Amino acid sequence: MELENLKNYGVEMNLIFQKIPQNHPMVVKEAKGTATAIIRRKLGLPKMIVMLFYLIKEKKRINEIPFPAKQSMSEETAAMLKNSFSAKAAMFCALAKVTDNIRAMEIMKEITNATAYLSAMTELPGPEDFLACGDGFTAFKDYILEMFQVSRQAGIHEYVILENTEDCLEFDITYCAIYEYMNKIAPKEACRANCYGDDILFPKLCPQLGACFKRKGNMAEGYACCNTRFERMGDMHE
């Protein structure tokens, strides 16, 4: 298989995930059901009802806050990102109202643990697709590079490549529009819960390509940038 023929090649990751509700409604329905069950188990029914009341209020509050779009970002992209991440932030803030920031983050992370990988892989190439390109890790690495190049052009991220070799790709994200937005609308723990998806997706996907995912830290945790490193594990050349 040619790299350019992989599913959603050359599409920014957040834009890829926007396709999931339309293309995979049953996956979204199941994920919502899982999230509801987790929240009810963690809060109990009375607190969950109160949380839903706060959710409505938080959505209204956050909707009044503009997305901090750079000049290079289109209005369509800004609106898409605002729609997606305002909903996540509103959920976090509503949970925090009936618990606290740490417990809200833990609940959001548990939901991510249960739903993120299967949801993401509906629109990302599977490991078998990367492997069909010949060298699975190289195909994955080049796919990620193209994705972030598009992300930079869209005004979503800025990044610096630290290492790009046959066996490694490491880069620092120095600007993230989503991080800037989340900081405007929710406590810092909300962004930490949001970025947690990377810690579920990549550690599950990479080993199937003979690789591993490492991260020194991210901006949501107080690190100067969002560090990302993918390494080939051992002698895994195809």
Q: What integer pLDDT is reported at residue 57 of this predicted model?
A: 98
Position 211 scores a pLDDT of 97
Give the phi and the psi of residue 122 in degrees, each rounded to 5: -70, -25
Structure tokens, 63: 């909707």
For 215-218, the CB contacts below 8 A with 24+ separation are 218/173
The pLDDT value given to residue 178: 95
Task: For the chain, list residues with pLDDT below 70.
Answer: 235-238
Residue 238 lies in a domain: no
Predicted confidence at residue 73, as pLDDT, reads: 94
Listed residue (204, 197, 205, 187) closest to 226, CA to CA: 197
In a domain, 167, yes or no: yes
Count of domains observed in the chain:
1
Three-class secondary structure of residue 159 per DSSP: strand
- Contact present, 219 and 176 (Cβ < 8 Å): yes
| Of 229, 90, 99, 115, the residue nearest 172 (C-alpha) | 229
**What pLDDT, on a 0 to 100 scale, did the predictor assign at position 234?**
74
Give domain status of residue 237, yes or no.
no
Query: Is the alpha carbon torsion for 174, 177, 182, 185 positive or negative?
Result: positive
- Residue 185, domain member (yes or no): yes
pLDDT score at 1: 82
DSSP state of 11: S
Residue 171: how many other CB atoms lie within 10 Å: 21
Q: Please report the sign of the dihedral spanned by the C-alpha atoms of residue 15, residue 21, residue 23, residue 24.
A: positive
Q: Looking at the domain assignment, is residue 211 inside a domain?
A: yes
Which structural domain, as residue segments, surrounds residue 225?
A: 3-232
Q: Is residue 114 domain-resident? A: yes
Partnered with residue 159 across adjacent β-strands are 173
Q: What is the pLDDT of residue 235?
A: 56
pTM of the model: 0.91
Q: Is residue 177 part of a domain?
A: yes
